[in-house]
A and B are shown apart, each in its own frame.
Chain A
């Protein structure tokens, strides 16, 4: 395929989904920068899918940057490392982005705060697949695109996996951290992909990028130099293109039945941020203590793509970007993108390994009144649902508490992407209804 001929918006895609304005121009041309280190970090003990970690340190202990501070004796989990050097000041419940509280290790930064110094310098080619996987597990890697599934568990499969898909779709509006990473860290990303390919035994890697990032497609294509085990796949600009199942279907044509782990389909999908982290973990022994996030929004004075330590509070991030926390009346501060991210009312909440961005929506972009009306059966949600569900029926049944019928309408297949609520002319909070009903249906 002649990649230099491809135009914005063109590319492969899936059936369903919708176009959402990108709002990416606030940060898509701003180079990645380091953010100043905060005075205090709050590291949630559970910030991945699987078993929560147990602290390995106690209040009063001194910790060094990158030192392992928590781990669990379980298969599905990921250890945690000190994001700053300093002293453990508390181990207690702290607010999380879901509106609840999570047991956390609080560390006050003390002394010199340097950038991470490599503990080793390894050549991945000299390492066995087992050694590579171990390095990834020890670094506490999890999916950094949002799902936070432990990467080690994902790649430690004995099923034959022929395909690795690097997810650089970044279909959520506003976010540009993956875009910048692909542009600025292309070499490391490709090396990271080689590492993952060796871990899972894949023969082919597809780097999936939406065609609103033509520069990234160009750079990656050039760096790949026509090698046949890796290929950039330009994707149509459509939300939610970056969801795993739709990427697999779009790129390999394979069906993704419910309940099937992607390894069973011969594919593993990894976010580009995770892949870059795998490179650093293997080559430098660097644990997942920091990540790139987009801090963005039309009114943010210094928006950008920042390398931020895990556990940094929203407060610090916003003030580093020139946002006055007292001037946020009526605004929304969102962790993640605007389609699925969660709005915060407490700026003490810290970012976790899978936080992709901090977005400030000014009052004029906030739909404060949640007034909605009955479904008028316009059919838009049915046409656009990427999972081919009937969001209209789901929302009506959930709204009226007819929980017993929700499984017939495949409530468990809903990926909570928000497309249905986005297009609904009656302004129905469909996803909200669905999310609220899921635990109840589970109890039935």
Chain B
């Protein structure tokens, strides 16, 4: 008789999809816009990308070691978070803010919450926004660490106002085509909405993201911009709306799990973005809106829970006792 028959429980077949494959595909989807950022911002962008991804990996190893857990670099989620943080940075940001944002993203928002799957907030957004809020208190770092700043030489685009700021100040932006294709000024990921959309299309095609969230979110912003009298096309193409809609709001862990919830979530984010843009006049509207709605995901899930296929009848009598 065979010495060793395997008798693990069913199902005995497994679809080939894995978490690391999905993360890898998201990284692939971000390559075009990363290249665009390097094209516009040269070494500034390349440096931030490498710095954040490296910091993310190290943070994950260190924090998980401190928590006595096996590192999970293989699922690629830490590196991806680092990549996201870099793409959310402006090219002129001091390097230590990039490091701080990455540590907060991977170390606090993800690992201290229990690791991938347990985080309430999108880690990259949390890290970036927390850094923006905390940076004033860390002003001394700017001073003390300025000696360590790496100087890559001047780039015009860096001192230029961001397209969002230009829009708010009523300055005129280049034509729609240029804005879609590529125009420097904002964060690394804001250089080319077109390439972000192509990346998003790739993720939709690979089945990693659900179309409902980007459609609901972008649609809501479009409709409300129209009502608010904004320039709908510019509103679409600035402020990282595309990155937010295709890559951030669609994050598995921090978005609602069922389709109804995804609609609610997307529409609410879109509405908040419009409020930030036309009401408050803040430039970080997309990031704030997504983070705010991240906090409501558990509530949305409860309210949109669908009934079981077997629901109509009362429960079987076996349950009391």
Contact = CB atoms under 8 A, between A and B. Distances in A.
Interface stretch (A158-166, A227-235, A272-280, A333-341): A333-341
Contacts of B314: 259
A345 interface: yes
Contact of B19 (A343, A368, A376): A376
Where chain B touches its partner, the secondary structure class is loop
B8 A425 contact: no
Interface range on chain A (Cβ under 8 Å from partner): 35 or more
A239 B21 CA distance: 24
A279 B19 CA distance: 50
A292 to B, nearest CB: 22
A425 B72 CA distance: 15
Contacts of B252: 376-379
B315 A326 contact: no
A413 interface: yes
B294 to A, nearest CB: 12
Contacts of A343: 5-10, 12
B10 A431 contact: yes
Interface in B289-321: 305-316, 318-319, 321
Nearest to A384: B15
User: Which of B6, B117, B312: most chain A CB closer than 10 A?
Assistant: B6
Contact of B5 (A249, A333, A367): A333
A370 interface: yes
Contacts of B14: 367, 421-422, 427
Given A257-B310, A258-B310, A327-B2, A426 B19 contact: yes
A374 B117 contact: yes
B75 interface: yes
A256 B10 contact: no
Given A333-B5, A367-B8, A374-B118, A422 B15 contact: yes
Contacts of A432: 9
B7 A425 contact: no
Interface in B85-126: 114-118
Given A329-B4, A418-B10, A258 B313 contact: yes
A327 to B, nearest CB: 7
A345 B308 contact: no
A339 B11 CA distance: 4
A20 B13 contact: yes
A403 interface: no
B18 interface: yes
A123 interface: no
Nearest to A388: B309
A341 B17 contact: no
B257 interface: yes
Given A325-B1, A373-B72, A382-B257, A258 B8 contact: no
A366 B312 contact: no
Given A257-B313, A339-B10, A374-B116, A444 B5 contact: no
Interface in A271-318: 315
A301 to B, nearest CB: 16
User: Which of B4, B17, B257: most chain A CB closer than 10 A?
Assistant: B257
Contact of B318 (A331, A365, A442): A442
A108 interface: no
A340 B118 CA distance: 30
Interface string B140-164: 0000000000000000000000000
B309 A347 contact: no
A379 B257 contact: yes
A388 B307 contact: yes
Contact of B210 (A366, A379, A387, A412): A379
Nearest to B77: A376
A364 to B, nearest CB: 12
A431 B13 CA distance: 13
Contacts of A341: 10, 12
B1 A257 contact: no
Nearest to B13: A338
A158 B133 CA distance: 73
Interface string A258-269: 111000000000
A370 B319 contact: no
A13 to B, nearest CB: 14
A407 interface: yes
B303 to A, nearest CB: 14
B10 A344 contact: no
A392 interface: yes
A418 B13 CA distance: 9
A325 to B, nearest CB: 5
B175 interface: no
Interface in A363-421: 365-368, 370, 373-380, 382-383, 386-390, 392, 407, 410, 412-413, 418, 421
Given A257-B312, A376-B253, A329 B12 contact: no
B178 interface: no
A368 B310 contact: no
B10 A338 contact: yes
8 contacts: A259-B314, A326-B1, A339-B12, A373-B116, A374-B115, A379-B210, A387-B309, A423-B17
The 5 closest A-B pairs by CB, nearest first: A257-B313, A418-B11, A258-B310, A328-B2, A374-B117
Interface of A: 16, 18, 20-21, 99, 173, 245, 249, 255-260, 315, 325-334, 338-345, 347, 361, 365-368, 370, 373-380, 382-383, 386-390, 392, 407, 410, 412-413, 418, 421-423, 425-427, 429, 431-432, 435, 442, 444
Given A345-B6, A382-B258, 7 more contacts: A21-B13, A245-B309, A334-B10, A379-B252, A412-B315, A422-B13, A425-B17
Interface of B: 1-15, 17-19, 21-22, 72, 75, 114-118, 210, 252-253, 255, 257-259, 305-316, 318-319, 321
